[in-house]
A and B are shown apart, each in its own frame.
Chain A
Amino acid sequence: MKLQCRKRRFSDARRRFSEARMYGASIHHEVAGVSTEGSRLGQSVDRTRVRGTHSVRRSHGIFWLSRKTEVLTHVYQQAARHKRHRFSSVVAIVLLTVVGCTSSATQNPDPANAVANEHQATVVSDRLGRTVSFEIPPRRIISLSPSTTELLFAIDAGDLIVGATEHCDFPAAANGLPRVGGGTLTSISREMIVSLEPDLVIAKWDSHEPLVKTMELLEIPILMMGADSIDDIFADARTLGGLTNHAKDAESLVDQMQSRLETLTACVRGIPDSERRTVFYEVWDDPLMTAGPNSFIGELLEIGGMKNIFADAKQRYPKISSEVAVARRPDVILAPSTHATRVSIDSLRQRQGWQDIPAIRDDAVFLIDGDQVSRCGPRVINALEEMIRTVYPNHYNASESR
């Protein structure tokens, strides 16, 4: 069966990269405007295959709607519910099985058709609550954040990436990828993105938001993702796994992370409350910033059995006053190793009034690998392990030897 999409804003569709978007676009409309779509969907449309064969194929058929509509409505409602749930990540994936349509198959005897039929159209609801439609599996992905790049490699889908940012340096294979700019919105070259002919761009949901409009005009599907918790990482891994035909790899990644997480949780579970150490996590030194409980770093501290001295902060990464940090007398100070000027016990001693903080008196200032702790990707478990090892060495070693 061919999904038919109506001919909309089509004047220069010849120029577009792939049929996938047009193809998928119809599904978006079915989802968003179910009630009115029935009559329109009987139309047929020219589809241009640019990448690959460059041949124009014509397909005719009727999209038989009513049952699909129910399914889609249900999914859309689900997506809308999740949209309300702010921290739930990419969830609703609909795989519309592309059922072979005999009549159109006889009209299209060319072998390229078989390839097309392997493709499936999909609707994904992203972190901004948008529904994005495209054909899966994508073959040319551009990743605009290091954590997404790491995640794609971790589920063995790294070979699909054709472009990344200058900060995407892990694993080593990512270093060879063409760069489309730095991580920030202004430094990303839109021209570079287009020239790499992606069929999916994955961007950060909060900092890359204005890219959505541009990519939609260019008819390049863009997914706004980005995890803010370990559960988000699992959800993102599963979403990407489903999209890239690496669902099994994604599941095994999630299983592996979960079992490590359980081991680490078990290792700090037995620590009595009196022995739990208060921790100040210094995200940045000037201005002084820490991680609140809503951030994934806050989550790591909590899982690691540490008492975040700023557990009362509302913001994810609040700027805080030095006075409060001193007054709350942390037992331990943690900081990422990627600061412009590295935090050290000496530099902290120089700070006015910090000499009497227990952490400084006891030399309990530790650096955590910045690339692991500052990217909410598959390696956060390493960061968690590092944190537990440095803050509770005895418990960590005890559980290791067990």
Chain B
Amino acid sequence: MNTFQHFRILASASAILSAVLLPLSASATTVTTDPVGVVSKTVPTGITVLSVPFLNAVVFQGVIASEDGLQLSFSTSGIPDLSGEPYFVHVFTGDYAGETITIVSATSNSVTLEHLPAGSINGETVGIRAHHTLGSLLGSNNLQTDDGVSLYGSNNSVRSYFYFEGFGWFDAALEDANDVIVFPGEGMALSVTGSRELSFSGQVLTVPVAFPIYPNSINIMGTVNPAIGVSLEGLGLPSVLPQDASATAYADDGSLTADMVAFNYTDFGFYDDNFVDRNGYEIFSTGAVVIRSTRLDVAVIPPAYSSED
């Protein structure tokens, strides 16, 4: 019999630790939220490659106490009712920080995931957030009937949806598409028949987001950074992607004209056809870069803000 049982409690919740140690010093008198924000964007007539620079708020944060297949149990309870809209687990700490996995069911202290994490996240701090959906992002955002959007899948698939004023989003079969998930960092191709004033609001990213790059597919990757442009290098793409992976950014005029096309060269990064270094090319806050690759990789979108900024 094991006569000595040992457990370590919340060993890696550095964010929580910092919040607690300050009061212990008896000198801290203020505590500050992570930032939220609003970004407005004029979308011109035509097709715009677009991404959302915010995530939704964390509705629960905890430490993984145990893993059992797809089920994660937390050391504390308090997970709210997650019915009604899709949610995901966002890993905040450890080797897999940034990974996001959709939740299929939950109790007050456990969640069941859609797929397994890339590796063990036992003992790590994670958050639960609601997914963005077409309805939540673009449901009442000044769009008009006949506007449309396309999302691109992991198997080189494309899904197109259409907007009807007063009803929201539908797919080609006229099935309700308001609950279609727009994954963290995922960009889209928005087609509008006239200039539209869009606004996005939400939580500023304070932890990384892992963005999967699927082979032989169209991957539209945003920066999840509402304040500044982020370069290809800043997104870690030169080191993550294989030789000859391409990155394309489009002009912001609705014409779907390429503003930059570059290919990855091992040890050198992205260069265009004129051998101009494009590693520093910045994707603006509501823009996105289209990546094509031959290999499954995971790029990590860095936080847009940390309290040490």
**A, B in one complex:** no
Interface positions of B (Cβ within 8 A of A): none
Interface positions of A (Cβ within 8 A of B): none
